[in-house]
Homo-oligomer: A and B are copies of this chain.
Amino acid sequence: MDFRKIDNLSVDCVVLRLEENTLKVLLRKRALNLYDENSPVIDDWVLPGHYVLKSNNLGETANRVFKELTGEDHLNKNQFRTYGNAARIKSDKDLLWVRSRGAKVRTITVAYYLIVASNKDLLDMDDSLKWFKLKSLPQLGFDHHQIINDAYEDIKGKIITDPLIFDFMPIKFTLNELQMAFESILDVELDNRNFRKKVSSKSYIVPLEEKQKGVSKKPSRLYMFSKDVYNQVVETDYIINK
């Protein structure tokens, strides 16, 4: 195992989740104090990422980023684009930052997105990590604004044909939760009755006997996504139509 970094190759992760039907991205504080503790030269946010180690694969590096953030493994990741233009790193802050880490100014970043289920408690997040609404991001370093937008566009495209939506959901979920997840990600409104009809026609969304508990209203039925069943019927079956 060779722990040296490849000094011009990094992996950045767009970590996403739904919180109260709002898409959020996990960002890491980027702070650099040169002279004075109280007036940092750099004070903004970036995507969590890592330089790739000589013995690590790209996907492994993405997994590792996630594991370091949350202490947990994450299997579902998606490489969606690579950023490596010559002038990608050009602002004074970005140049300063990259040099301060001993890396090349011409750094190639392979970008992944990782989706975290909405019920998952991510413990032990230190103060330098924070979830931001996708629609109101803070000041970001590098081209990370672009990267986040590209990730979002990719997801919006795939969510209609791929079973990506279930990565956002808890293992057991209600149909209304599922509908709201679609609505908030795609920014559309769906008819509840038609949505339920459509979902019932999908063999891979299976109703459980179990019902919600601890709600002060009629408890709703729980469903789960079966990947096994899905794999048998993929060919023909889209989830929702646009």
Counting CB contacts under 8 A, is A41 at the interface? no
A56:B108 contact, CB within 8 angstroms = no
A58:B79 contact, CB within 8 angstroms = no
Q: Please, which residues of chain B bring their CB within 8 A of the CB of A82?
A: 58, 79, 82, 110
Interface centre among A8, A82, A161 (most CB of B within 10 A): A82
Counting CB contacts under 8 A, is A201 at the interface? no
B57:A85 contact, CB within 8 angstroms = yes
Instruction: Give the number of residues in A that approach B within 8 Å (Cβ atoms).
Output: 24
Within 8 A of B (CB), among A89-107: 106
Counting CB contacts under 8 A, is A6 at the interface? yes
Q: Please, which residues of chain B bring their CB within 8 A of the CB of A86?
A: 54-57
A interface, by DSSP: helix, strand, loop or mixed? mixed
Q: How far is the CA of A84 from the CA of B81 in the complex (A)?
A: 13
Partner of A106, one of B54, B79, B161, B236: B54
B79:A9 contact, CB within 8 angstroms = no
Q: How far is the CA of A229 from the CA of B84 in the complex (A)?
A: 33
Q: Please, which residues of chain B bring their CB within 8 A of the CB of A52?
A: 84
Q: Please, which residues of chain B bring their CB within 8 A of the CB of A242?
A: 236
Q: How far is the CA of A52 from the CA of B9 in the complex (A)?
A: 14
Q: Please, which residues of chain B bring their CB within 8 A of the CB of A108?
A: 9, 108, 110
Which residues of A are interface residues toward B (Cβ below 8 A)? 6, 8-9, 52, 54-59, 79, 81-82, 84-87, 106, 108, 110, 157, 161, 236, 242
Given contacts A58-B82, A58-B84, 9 further A-B contacts (CB under 8 A): A8-B8, A8-B9, A9-B108, A56-B86, A57-B86, A57-B87, A79-B81, A79-B82, A82-B110
